[in-house]
Structure 1
């Protein structure tokens, strides 16, 4: 069974761009890194993407391998493959969690999402996202609230699970 990221956390970012990965997230990164053994640091890939993406998406090694396999299945030379390679291979940053449970976010990534002294981490199943807290509240949380507000008061979103196709 694949471990999933769960929860949301506010984390401090120091002047060098170091930020602690929540402990529960570190366990998922360890489980999702085939090379991980006790005493080593789990690896991950941070996809920062194009100018429209206002957050950093962090993938376990298993999750990014799944994305890579799907990209590799596309016809070589196709525009779709070229664009996905650019977004997931070119606009990404491989890194590892240090012995204190932190990663270093380079200035380029911090500047892209306008991150300063605080970061908001939110789980997204087999990935997690790092946001500037204000951006998350004004854009993503507002979008969720708007979606919920458009539903009837007694609506249960779990009904969508019955519509999911089994793989």
Structure 2
């Protein structure tokens, strides 16, 4: 659980969030959905409409463009630059995406945290799991600038800058 910081010098510094509905069906799940009553029906399951639909090349192309853009934007909103970044925790969709982001931002290996090789893509839990591992393992220290960045279904992406 993330709550307010009692230290005015620590906590969330800025957010950057985007969505592009035009590309929603490049990465999405048709059912269950609010347009259906009931939300999901047996025929939806029989038809596989509850399974993730993805155009992998398009998703990769956008992810390796949008997450670096959002990382730079959130740092700028916080009055910081990439030179101030201590640790980037990207959504763990796949290692190739993380490596491409690292290369595009010119970050060192020790500035990007990856755990996908141990857990795979745990969807919405990838950043919380990675953040917890970094915290418990001492990878994050007080005063460090950490950026959390993600990309996901419905074609949304964003970042949060945190002073730990």
TM-score between both structures, scaled by the size of structure 1: 0.24
- Greater helix share, structure number: 2
Normalised TM-score (structure 2) = 0.25
Greater relative CO (CA pairs within 8 A, separation 6+): 2
